[in-house]
Amino acid sequence: MGNTEEMHPVDSGPPIATINPTNGELLQSFEPYDAATVESRLAVAAGAASRWSRSTFAERSRLLITAAELLEGELPDIAHVVTTEMGKPFAQAKGEVAKCASGFRWFAEHAEALLTDEEILVDASLGLVTYQPLGVVLAIMPWNFPLWQVARFIAPAVMVGNVGLLKHAPNVPRTALLLEDLFLRAGAPDGVLQTLLIGTDQVPAIIADPRVAAVTLTGSVGAGRAVAAQAGAAGKKVVLELGGSDPFIVLPSADLERAAAVGVQARVQNAGQSCIAAKRFIVHRDVAAAFTERFVSGMGAASVGDPFDPATEVGPMVNAAARDTIAAQVEDARAKGATILCGGERVVGPEGADHPGYFYRPTVITGMTPDMRVASEEVFGPVALLYVVADADEALAVANGTEFGLGSSVWTDDPDEQQRFVNDLDAGQVFVNGMVVSMPQLPFGGIKSSGIGRELSAHGLHEFCNVKSVWIA
């Protein structure tokens, strides 16, 4: 995921504060926890890990189901916090809250079966693989899905018997504190989920602390590599999700109306600030004109404005830096000869020029060349890159011609083409005739610079387990 703060040990990072992206207003700021507070929380986490590891599946399940009920009962209020802190349209924020509740319920209902001892045929009276908790897991999470990113880490962690320390992004502190309070109100013992309001300069010492067993991070490639190095030096397990440049491939047999409509949604939801957003639209020349007309029309018609207005489809970007990065990438492409088919400009928000907010119009660019920033950087905003290719071979070459390998979407009704792209796309996920989404049932993660390991599903449950072999003579 682009634009998450870099994780360098000498840099304390941005201030911990809630700034409303709609108008740039500072709503609340927080002092980072001092060393004594961090130490106290580490000690509480270590004690909780010892006790929670001995809890039953029924106790763990009851905790997540109660948390789900609280999310559902307080859905509009919780969504209001999310929209105010990071700007996504209120309808999308409500959808994120509901998705977290659904995810909690799924793990509550399925984890015990997925963690059951496996009997293995060996030359012994009994061979088993059993799954046991590791202890304290440090989660370094981003702002773009500030509830769901945490839910997909903490739900499997809790069901395994681990506990969590949450170092959230500095611009969503209210959401971070809300999550800690949610678990306490759901009946979690002290220390099962604690928030750490800290700067990035405090992270390396926590990773190195012997009470922390493992680390998970969703963030930029730079942040992930820094954390991986720190965790590796301490011999700690890591799971990393580091963003993507997902292809959206349209072949001649595709349903163009549906592909274009879903393509717009896949590019502009959350103002395009999603790791698995469709970013590169790779279209066969035989249908390029027809798809482009529909897609550009849809992107140009997407309504930009107040995220609390039900008609708004695209809210503000998270902050001025994120908006300015997107604007600079587009201007670089324009200056080097790219064609802007729609958009390509900042937008003044609903409160006018004195409080313009961080808005950018949905944009489609074509005619990219390798020297343009958009050709090599993750484009983390409502900007689509449109490529026209001669055939399936070229579509695969363009799709795989990136350092990233997170998600991918291919549109074709030809079964042979479907199977070829499933086999040959360099990605952790391939969605055929649909946009890439995360769901509890399927593993989530990527290859190449998109990360290490998997979240969600049985695979996410097993990532932070001691997978223990048992042999009895």
CATH number corresponding to 16-242+450-472: 3.40.605.10
Residue 241 annotated to the active site: yes
Query: How far is the C-alpha of 249 from the C-alpha of 74, rounded, in Å?
Result: 39
CATH number for the domain running over 246-432: 3.40.309.10
Per residue in 325-360, pLDDT tens?
999 999 999 999 999 999 999 999 999 999 999 999
CB 138 within 8 A of CB 154: no
Which of these is catalytic: 100, 275, 342, 465?
Answer: 275
pLDDT tens-digit map of 418-459: 999 999 999 999 999 999 999 999 999 999 999 999 999 999
Given a cut of 50, whether residue 173 has pLDDT beyond it is yes
**Residues in the chain, overall count:** 473
Residue 387, H or E segment: strand 383-389
120 within 8 A of 97, measured Cβ to Cβ: no
352 sits in the region (left: phi over 0; alpha: psi -120 to 50; else beta) called left
**DSSP assignment of 13-70, as one string?**
-S-EEEEETTTTEEEEEEPPP-HHHHHHHHHHHHHHHHHHTT--HHHHHHHHHHHHHH
- And the tokens for 208? 């190195």
Confidence of residue 6 (pLDDT cuts 50, 70, 90): very low
Choice among 180, 241, 378, 463 that is catalytic: 241
pLDDT number for residue 295: 98
Whether residue 31 is predicted with pLDDT greater than 70 in this model: the reply is: yes
What's the average model confidence in pLDDT over 380-397?
Answer: 98
- Whether 31 is catalytic is no
Q: To which residue do tokens 């309504």 refer? A: 303
* Mean of the per-residue pLDDT values of the chain: 96
Residues 319, 5: Cα–Cα separation, whole Å: 12
What is the rounded CA–CA span in Å between residue 463 and residue 458? Answer: 9
Element (H, E) at 394: helix 392-400
DSSP one-letter code for 9: T
Can you give the residue ranges of every domain in the chain?
Answer: 16-242+450-472, 246-432
pLDDT at position 7 over 80: no
- CA 108/CA 115 separation, integer angstroms: 12
pLDDT tens figures, 250-308: 999 999 999 999 999 999 999 999 999 999 999 999 999 999 999 999 999 999 999 99
- Tokens read off for 134: 């590791």
Q: What is the pLDDT of residue 11?
A: 57
pLDDT for 395-427, tens place per residue?
Answer: 999 999 999 999 999 999 999 999 999 999 999
Q: pLDDT tens digits for 90-108?
A: 999 999 999 999 999 999 9
pTM: 0.96
Confidence of residue 13 (pLDDT cuts 50, 70, 90): confident
| Spatial contact of 295 and 329, defined as CB atoms under 8 Å apart | no
pLDDT digits (tens, 9 = 90+) for 213-254: 999 999 999 999 999 999 999 999 999 999 899 999 999 999
With 80 as the cut, is the pLDDT of residue 321 above it?
A: yes
